[in-house]
Structure 1
Amino acid sequence: MADFDLEALSLTELRKLHKDIAKSISTYEDRQKAEARAKVEAFAKDLGYSLAELMGEDAKPKRAPAPAKYRHPENPALTWSGRGRKPLWFVEALDAGKAAEDMKIG
Structure 2
Amino acid sequence: MNLSALAFPELLDLKKQVEQRINDIQAQEKTKAMQQIRELAKTYGLSVEEVLAKASGASRKPVEAKYANPANSEQTWSGRGRKPVWVQEYLDSGKTLESLEIGK
TM interval, short-chain normalised: 0.5 to 0.7
Q: CA deviation at 1:35?
A: 1.6
Aligned partner of residue 90 in structure 1, secondary structure: helix
Percent identical pairs in the alignment equals: 34
Q: Structure 1 length normalisation: TM-score? A: 0.52
> 2 CA distance for matches of 1:61 and 1:37?
23
2:32 equivalent to 1:36: yes
Residue 10 of structure 1 corresponds to none
Q: Deviations over 1:56-95 (max 9, x none)?
A: x48x894322211100121111111112221221111100
2:84 to 83, 87, 95: 87
Query: What is the root-mean-square deviation in Å for CA atoms of aligned residues?
Result: 3.9
> How many residues are treated as equivalent by the alignment?
83
Letter matched to residue 35 of structure 1? T
> 1 CA distance for matches of 2:88 and 2:67?
12
Rg bigger for which structure? 2
Q: Deviations over 1:17-63 (max 9, x none)?
A: 9xxx7xxx79x75x456423421244347658335578xx48x8943
More strand by share: 2
Contact 1:41 1:50 in 2 (8 A): no
Gapped runs of 5+ residues in structure 2? Answer: 1-5, 10-14
| Runs of 4+ in structure 1 over 4 Å off | 44-48, 51-54
Residues 8-47 of structure 1 mapped to structure 2, 5 A cutoff: 29=26, 31=27, 34-44=30-40
